[in-house]
Copies of this chain bind each other. A is one copy, B any other.
């Protein structure tokens, strides 16, 4: 993944340009711009539109990457409490808190609205998959029984994103209940 490399490479011109583009997207989304184009984003970021056309297939892909970048900066490491129940519970509440922020809700709706056909690449899901896999690996190493990564995605991640995209209320108690529910599937 070229994008992941670019976002993790520290310092340098390329990472400054990328940061400017992400900031521009964030500002435009926050202002409620509903027709996002590469020239518009480039103008705001003060970069040449060619940079954008070269790096991303379309605006949707850039939008998603920006959301993932924002997430990565914010969260970083996944919880490591010593038990899978503690980790999943804390992780679920972090997701709930994160995706209910107005700017994130806007990103998610813009992302969903922009998708037409089935996607083969969904950065949000991929990022959550990596995080879940990491917590499950640690729990297994401790000798705990674990659900599958797919179950964690279906039963913790999906219900939270469902509620946010459908504009239904999400709270931390609900997030913790989802973590308990998926753990009941281990037996």
Contacts and interface: CB of A to CB of B under 8 A. Distances in A.
Nearest to A180: B185
A125 B163 CA distance: 10
A168 B187 CA distance: 28
Given A159-B159, A162-B158, A168-B125, A109 B118 contact: no
Contact of A159 (B113, B117, B118, B154): B154
A169 B118 contact: yes
A80 B21 CA distance: 54
Which of A116, A157, A165, A166 has the most CB atoms of chain B within a 10 A radius of its CB? A166
A119 B185 contact: no
Contacts of A159: 154-155, 158-159, 162
B113 A168 contact: no
A185 to B, nearest CB: 5
Given A155-B155, A159-B159, A167 B109 contact: no
A168 B161 CA distance: 13
Given A154-B155, A184-B187, A187-B184, A117 B162 contact: no
Interface in A105-143: 109, 111-113, 115-119, 122, 124-125
A83 interface: no
A141 B85 CA distance: 33
Given A184-B184, A184-B185, A109 B119 contact: no
Given A116-B167, A158-B162, 9 more contacts: A112-B166, A118-B167, A125-B168, A151-B181, A155-B155, A157-B162, A161-B166, A162-B162, A165-B165
Interface of A: 109, 111-113, 115-119, 122, 124-125, 151, 154-155, 157-159, 161-163, 165-169, 178, 181, 184-185, 187
